[in-house]
């Protein structure tokens, strides 16, 4: 089968969020209590018109199906979270940290779908409509032992996470069996200071992720006949194990820096897509299942070397990663093994106080192979060349520019193109106190701003090219109101004897 989808949509999404932090230090040294409260309310009202044309190629004929839909959505959600942290010194350099958190989120989703008949009249569709509400309560109770020494410090502990999730389908007038889980989450970290500038760090943490209600709800969504979806009420939560190791060496006198690190993650009961063929016309149904065996490993480094009083700075950085992801195709495991590699370099030149100039480049490769036969392998390359500058011109003028040239190879012909992004601005300092700035800026001057990406999911490889906000120009005026107290301004703005500054922009 072959399908074409045209979708026009509009939505309104107001949201309100708040955060309150309280901290109290007791008279006993090291005893501390902190409370963090967050909350929010979000709502989305939208309307979309969808036209789907599906052509089914049979042995002796072509059957076309036209589905025209008007979809109204009204989604609401609110969340509340409170977290308590209490620290108690139990001996010199050792503390007991007690943690408790409570979070609750409520979601109400309502999608009303009307199908247009042959005369263009809207008819409500029970099959394509869906309304449900879900309540998700999660608690976390834990204890850590934290030890601090002159050369090293470490923390280890564990926490329990009771989870309660319930849902109700308004469309089907039925409540789903509440889900109750108890997750055990260990944690540990260690840091060793060789010197003041050299540190080795190790980190481990466990994190449990619950399936969303849409992944649990056993209601089939056929709004797109070619790509249908349906939840699985038997899903289990996934438990991720995260390991991290890093080393850094900073020389504050010369400015030389060196970072190196690695990460390793694996997930137990990972939630993945299960793509099932529907009929013989090429349509597919995506549902969800739990699998084991997925993991990822990565490493990175960054090195920067200045010389001649930081007039020249040479920097190198690189990353490498290997991901072993799993998807299901017709209930058969398909391992997607991805190798990512990127290497970059940059040269900076700084002359006195009036010139900054740098040039750099970065190469990246993405290779993915699949274990199931018939799945095409992926080999995607990209080069990125960059150049930035700042020049102070006599008379109080400053010129800045940044240009990025991106070369893509290995994508489909429709998106496999090169992109040049150029931004520049002139600015002028005004007035005797130099508290005014007039700036003229140009963004995407060459009018080529596009986002290009490749997404691999199951048996789908999608190359996307999105036209972003393209070429535009902006004029800006900034005026700074400065108030000085005392004889000598301080760098601590707003403090006693310091400086208060307010910007007004037009």
Model confidence band, residue 486 (pLDDT cutoffs 50, 70, 90) = very low
Could you tell me which residue, 145 or 368, shows the higher pLDDT? 145
The CA distance from 156 to 242, in Å, is: 14
Q: What span, in angstroms and rounded, lies between the C-alpha atoms of 288 and 294?
A: 15
What percentage of residues in the chain have a pLDDT greater than 90? 44
DSSP letter for 377, please: P
pLDDT at site 98: 96
Q: In this structure, are strands 2-12 and 238-250 parallel, antiparallel, or unpaired?
A: unpaired
Identify the burial level of 411 via C-beta atoms within 10 angstroms of its C-beta, where 0-12 means exposed, 13-18 middle and 19 or more buried: buried
Cα 278 from chain centroid?
33
13: pLDDT confidence band, cut at 50, 70 and 90?
confident
Of residues 132 and 357, more confidence is placed in 357
Convert the pLDDT of each residue in 78-108 to its tens digit: 999 999 999 999 998 999 999 999 999 888 8
Q: What is the pTM of this model?
A: 0.74
Band of residue 59 on the pLDDT scale cut at 50, 70, 90: low
For residue 267, pLDDT over 60 is answered with yes
Q: What is the mean pLDDT of residues 350-363?
A: 94
How far apart, in whole angstroms, are the C-alpha atoms of residue 406 and residue 450?
Answer: 11
Average pLDDT over residues 340-346: 97
Is the distance from CB of 372 to CB of 380 less than 8 angstroms? Answer: no
133 in Cβ contact with 169 (< 8 Å): no
Are the CB atoms for 207 and 240 separated by under 8 Å?
yes
Q: Does residue 501 carry a pLDDT above 50?
A: no
Query: pLDDT band for position 65 (50/70/90)?
Result: low
Percent of residues, the chain, with pLDDT higher than 70: 84
- For 291-302, the DSSP string reads E---EEEEEEEE
Per-residue pLDDT of 429-444, as tens digits, reads 898 888 889 999 999 9
Q: Is the pLDDT higher at 503 or at 305? A: 305
Closest CA to 169 of 107, 119, 85: 107
Query: Is-contact 11 44, C-beta < 8 A?
Result: yes
**CB-CB contact of 137 with 164 (8 Å):** yes
pLDDT of res. 494: 41
The answer to whether residue 394 scores a pLDDT higher than 60 is yes
Whole-Å CA distances, 101 to 8, 81, 139, 182, 424: 42, 7, 6, 15, 48
Q: Which two tokens stand for residue 253?
A: 């006198």
Polymer length in residues for the chain:
506
The pair of structure tokens assigned to 247 is 């080393």
Taking every pair of Cα atoms in the chain, the longest distance, rounded to a whole number of angstroms, is: 94
Mean pLDDT of 440-464: 70
- Would you state the pLDDT for residue 125? 83
Q: What is the pLDDT of residue 499?
A: 44
Q: What is the pLDDT of residue 60?
A: 57
Helix (H, G, I), strand (E, B) or coil at 272: strand
Taking only the tens place, the pLDDT of each residue in 122-172 is 888 887 787 888 888 889 999 999 999 999 999 999 999 888 888 777 776
Q: What is the mean pLDDT of residues 418-431?
A: 91
pLDDT at residue number 264: 97
Most confident of 56-70, 320-334, 372-386, 486-500: 320-334
Write down the pLDDT at residue 495: 43
pLDDT tens-digit map of 27-54: 998 999 999 999 999 888 888 877 776 6
- pLDDT of residue 405 exceeding 60, the answer is yes
Cα 265 from Cα 241, distance rounded (Å): 6
Q: What is the mean pLDDT of the chain?
A: 84
């Amino acid at each position: 089968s072959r399908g074409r989808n045209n979708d026009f949509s509009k939505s309104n999404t107001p949201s309100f969020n708040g955060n309150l932090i309280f901290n109290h230090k007791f008279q006993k040294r090291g005893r501390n209590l902190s409370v963090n409260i967050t909350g929010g309310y979000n709502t989305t009202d939208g309307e979309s018109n969808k036209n789907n044309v599906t052509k089914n190629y049979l042995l002796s004929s072509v059957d076309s199906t036209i589905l025209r839909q008007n979809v109204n959505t009204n989604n609401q959600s609110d969340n509340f979270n409170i977290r308590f942290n209490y620290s108690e010194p139990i001996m010199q350099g050792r503390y007991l940290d007690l943690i408790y958190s409570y979070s609750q989120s409520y979601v109400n989703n309502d999608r009303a779908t009307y199908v247009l008949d042959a005369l263009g009249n809207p008819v409500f569709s029970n099959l394509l409509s869906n309304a449900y509400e879900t309540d998700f309560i999660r608690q976390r109770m834990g204890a850590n032992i934290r030890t601090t020494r002159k050369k090293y410090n470490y923390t280890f502990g564990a926490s329990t996470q009771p989870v309660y999730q319930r849902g109700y389908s308004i469309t089907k007038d039925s409540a789903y069996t509440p889900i109750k889980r108890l997750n055990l989450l260990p944690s540990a970290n260690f840091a060793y200071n060789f010197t003041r500038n050299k540190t080795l760090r190790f980190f481990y943490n466990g994190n449990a992720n619950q399936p969303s209600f849409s992944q649990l709800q056993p209601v089939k969504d056929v709004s797109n006949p070619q790509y249908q979806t349906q939840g699985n009420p038997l899903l289990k939560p996934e438990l991720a194990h995260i390991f991290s190791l890093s080393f850094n060496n900073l020389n504050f006198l010369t400015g030389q820096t060196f970072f190196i690190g690695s990460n390793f993650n694996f997930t137990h009961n990972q939630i993945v897509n299960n793509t099932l063929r529907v009929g013989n016309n090429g349509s597919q149904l995506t549902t969800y299942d739990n699998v084991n065996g997925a993991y990822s490993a990565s490493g990175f480094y960054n090195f920067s070397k200045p010389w001649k009083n930081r007039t020249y700075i040479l920097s190198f950085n690189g990353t490498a990663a290997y991901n072993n992801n799993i998807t299901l195709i017709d209930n058969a495991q398909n391992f997607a093994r991805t190798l990512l590699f990127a290497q970059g370099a940059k040269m900076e030149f700084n002359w006195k106080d009036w010139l900054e100039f740098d040039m750099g480049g970065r190469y990246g490769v993405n290779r993915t192979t699949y274990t199931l036969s018939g799945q095409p392998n992926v080999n995607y390359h990209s080069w990125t060349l960059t150049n930035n500058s700042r020049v102070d011109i006599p008379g109080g003028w400053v010129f800045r520019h940044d240009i990025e040239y991106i070369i893509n190879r290995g994508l489909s012909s429709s998106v496999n193109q090169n992109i040049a992004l150029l931004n520049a601005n002139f600015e002028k300092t005004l007035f005797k106190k130099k508290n005014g700035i007039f700036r003229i800026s140009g963004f995407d001057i060459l009018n080529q701003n596009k986002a290009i990406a490749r997404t691999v999911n199951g048996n789908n490889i999608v190359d996307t090219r999105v036209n972003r906000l393209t070429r535009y120009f902006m004029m800006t005026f900034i005026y700074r109101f400065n108030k000085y107290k005392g004889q000598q301004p301080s760098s601590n703005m707003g403090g006693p004897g310091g400086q208060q500054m307010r910007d007004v922009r037009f």
